Structure 1
Amino acid sequence: MDDLTNAGAAPCRHAEPVMGTVVSFTLRHRRTPGLRAALDRAVALLHAVDQEFSPYLPESAVSRLRRGESGRADTTPAVRRVLELCDVAHSRTRGAFDIWVDGRPDPCGLVKGWAAQRAWRVLREAGGTDACVNAGGDVRVGGAPGAAGLWSTGIADPRNPGQLLTVVTGRDQAIATSGTTERGNHIIDPRTRTPATELLAATVTGPDLMWADVYATAAMVLGAREAHQWITALPGYSLLTVATTGEVRASVDFPFASSRRSSSPGG
């Protein structure tokens, strides 16, 4: 790992393969006591979450739950908490986010954002006030005061691989994208039990990465019209969608970078 106590002017970066993706950390700090240890703790947290929640590890708590070897009442406290959050997510998204589509719980759609938000919080509480955690494209940033504390995050264009659709900026925000670019039509509409096919991608920004990730998945299921109407009832969150027709639509408060706005207001 990089030496955070003598990082100098250049950002300190660390990439950790975990949870089936790569979680990258960027910290723009010079000398912050305890930040190296905090980064170690954040990485350890992600691996602990993977061990407990991965459906690909036969002895994980989630795998045992899915096989019926444990129940909701006697699984681990962390899994019980995540299942409670999934119930709330189902309610908040009009049923569009549902971990029980195949009859067995699969909370992976919530866990990555939940874990990355917690890892970012570990850094924040240790004095990492100018830091970014990027969990496979789902991003949580926190910036120092002033123009230098702003973070810019590129949003990939699902219509043109390798190109950016737009750039968003912010000092303290989460950005999460769900889409079809890497895994095809893998998001299932729990109401019809068929793939959600109206949108190519949905990006949500807001104060919490777990909820931004959940809402981005839900938007893919709801489709542009319903999703843009629904997101207005969620204070602090905004939405950018790209339809299979090529139409790009954004909430009026979507945090585009200056001079980079590439879509017309929606909602």
Structure 2
Amino acid sequence: MRHLELVMGIPMSVDVRGALDEQAERAAVRDAFDRMHDADRRFSRFQPGSEVSRYDDGVDASTDLREVLDIAARFGDLSGGAFSVRRPDGTLDTDGVVKGWAAQRAADTLTAAGLTTFCLNAGGDVVVRGEPEPGRGWNVGVRDPDDPDAFLTVLEVRDGAVATSGTYERGEHVWDGRTGQAATGLRAATVVAADLTTADVLATCVLALGLDGIAWAAQHGAAAVLAVDADGELVTAVQAAPA
């Protein structure tokens, strides 16, 4: 079963290779997408009535918003302040956490419903479970920043997540929280991790930290990091094996 719709203004899709009957699969997918739509309504900084928009007006944070802010605070501390959900003008912007967090919760919803084999693609950030065919993982392409029709590489992933942050589509939209300036040291950063919340936040951290963030991410939850520097060179790092 395949399903596609717009969430958060971007195409999100799921490919289920399921063991459930069709009606149960459709119900699980609908629940997962409803959760992502709910996150969009609650965390969009473009909607005046959203929780994020009202938070600075003194409205108490919900359990979910506190969770998102706690994730942001933890990675802000780990990155020495490079990662921040406060924009340079001081406004709250949880986009660096929420997409991956919401998509991971959607994936957890599918798993809780009994689905064991699927690929959830949230605008290019991907979480997968199982194998689409015995002995083969899911293929996840990493886009070439210079060519939207070309891949730097194709990763084979089982039970993990891949997220990319870059400047090639939205321009210099990631800032270094330490300086308030746009992050310009890298053109793109891709992180492989166990879950999409971690992969998404770490990809943004790497972009904010620049070249120093590549090895840093491999020490803070990334199984692998691929980044393209300002000169177009590919730089990689992998998580060190436990002693």
TM above 0.5, yes or no, is yes
Q: Deviations over 1:232-258 (max 9, x none)?
A: 32245321010111110112469xxxx
Q: Does 1:63 align with 2:53?
A: yes
Higher RCO structure (Cα 8 Å, ≥6 apart): 2
Q: Deviations over 1:148-206 (max 9, x none)?
A: 55100111000233211110001111000000111111111111211111111000001
For 1:95, the aligned partner's letter is G
Partner of residue 138, structure 1: 125
Q: Does 1:170 align with 2:157?
A: yes
In structure 1, runs of 5+ residues without a counterpart are: 1-11, 255-267
Partner of residue 91, structure 2: 104
Question: Contact 2:218–2:239 (CA<8 Å) still a contact in 1?
Answer: no
Q: Deviations over 1:211-243 (max 9, x none)?
A: 11111011011112x113312322453210101
Q: Deviations over 1:112-131 (max 9, x none)?
A: 00000000111111121110
| Identity of matched residues, % | 42
Question: Contact 1:130–1:149 (CA<8 Å) still a contact in 2?
Answer: no
Partner of residue 168, structure 2: 181
Partner of residue 17, structure 2: 28
Structure 1 residues 29 and 149, CA gap change in structure 2 (3 angstroms):
farther
Equivalent of 1:157 in 144, 148, 172: 144
Q: Does 1:47 align with 2:37?
A: yes
Q: Distance in 2 between matches of 1:160 and 1:139?
A: 20
TM-score, structure 2 as length reference:
0.91
Q: Distance in 2 between matches of 1:163 and 1:42?
A: 30
Partner of residue 263, structure 1: none
Larger radius of gyration: 1
Question: Contact 2:166–2:207 (CA<8 Å) still a contact in 1?
Answer: yes
Q: Deviating runs (4+, > 3 A) in structure 1?
A: 30-33, 144-149
Q: Distance in 1 between matches of 2:135 and 2:35?
A: 29
In structure 2, runs of 5+ residues without a counterpart are: none
- How many equivalent residue pairs? 238
Query: CA RMSD for the aligned pairs?
Result: 1.9
Q: Distance in 2 between matches of 1:164 and 1:29?
A: 28
Q: Distance in 2 between matches of 1:46 and 1:156?
A: 24
Quote the offset at 1:93 in angstroms: 2.3
Q: Does 1:124 align with 2:105?
A: no
| Bigger mean CA offset, 177-186 vs 21-30 | 21-30
Question: Contact 1:153–1:169 (CA<8 Å) still a contact in 2?
Answer: yes
